[in-house]
Amino acid sequence: MGARGEAGRKSGMMATLRRYLIAGLVVWVPLAITIWVLSLLVELMDQSLLIVPPQFRSDALLGFHLPGLGIVLTLAILLFTGAVAANFFGKRLLLFWESLLGRIPIVRSIYGGVKQISDTLFSPDGKAFRRAVLIRYPQAGTWTVALVTGSPEHEVTDHLGFDQVSVFVPTTPNITAGFFLIVPRTDTIELQMSVDQALKYIISMGVAEPPRPPGRPERHPSGTDPNPMPSPKT
């Protein structure tokens, strides 16, 4: 009896230590990853300080490197560039620059493709990555969350018609990779979750499900309990 009680006490202690360890990981893993990503961003933006003469850098003025100054310089460069590109002369200069790059064979292909994607993503009037939908993928009967990137035109519509949508299906947990699909509009289900919520849902592999939209009643398509209890064995 004493040996059994000792074993039970040790088992309970191990279970408690395991619970504490998991609780510690839940606290520290997101924080560590956040700090790591932020440090990478700060280090990357600090590379913009290379355009500053050495005598005007924090190393020479203060005697030590002050991290974060690259963020200020990067934001200043972006704001200045945007202000110049927004006026009439800046637009003409930008068109001249793009036409100049368009004459260089390899640069033309890379710059043209990247610019077209950036214009689609960052344009205020763009519709790409503004909506999340459910689609059947990779086979009938299974569903996944996808992001609408637009509607196909020209040659694609000659074969499929106009009632199609272009979607991007991110992979889990690396959402920078994925699949581009063209699906019938009738085979999509519009979601009220935002794109940010959809990406968090995908990254977490379905764990971080967005809350139910306010005013939307809870219902189950089958009309039954989605998680029924198993029938007792006889």
In a domain, 54, yes or no: no
Residue 195 lies in a domain: yes
**Domain that includes residue 185, residue range:** 132-203
Q: What is the mean pLDDT of the chain?
A: 79
Domain for residue 153, yes or no? yes
Q: Is residue 175 part of a domain?
A: yes
Domain total of the chain: 1
pLDDT the model gives residue 202: 87
- Residue 95 is predicted with a pLDDT of 83
- Predicted confidence at residue 216, as pLDDT, reads 63
Mark the ranges of the chain whose per-residue pLDDT is less than 70. Answer: 1-8, 117, 119-128, 215-234
pLDDT at 228: 45
Mapped to the 3 state alphabet, what secondary structure does the chain carry? CHHHHHHHHHHHHHHHHHHHHHHHHHHHHHHHHHHHHHHHHHHHHHHHHHHCCHHHCHHHHHCCCCCCHHHHHHHHHHHHHHHHHHCHHHHHHHHHHHHHHCCCHHHHHHHHHHHHHHHHHHCCCCCCCCCEEEEECCCCCCEEEEEEEECCCCHHHHHHCCCEEEEEEECCCCCCCEEEEEEEHHHEEECCCCHHHHHHHHHCCCCCCCCCCCCCCCCCCCCCCCCCCCCCCC
Instruction: Give domain status of residue 101, yes or no.
Output: no
Query: Is residue 48 domain-resident?
Result: no
Q: What is the pLDDT of residue 133?
A: 93
Q: Is residue 40 part of a domain?
A: no
Is residue 105 in some structural domain?
no
Q: What is the pLDDT of residue 134?
A: 93
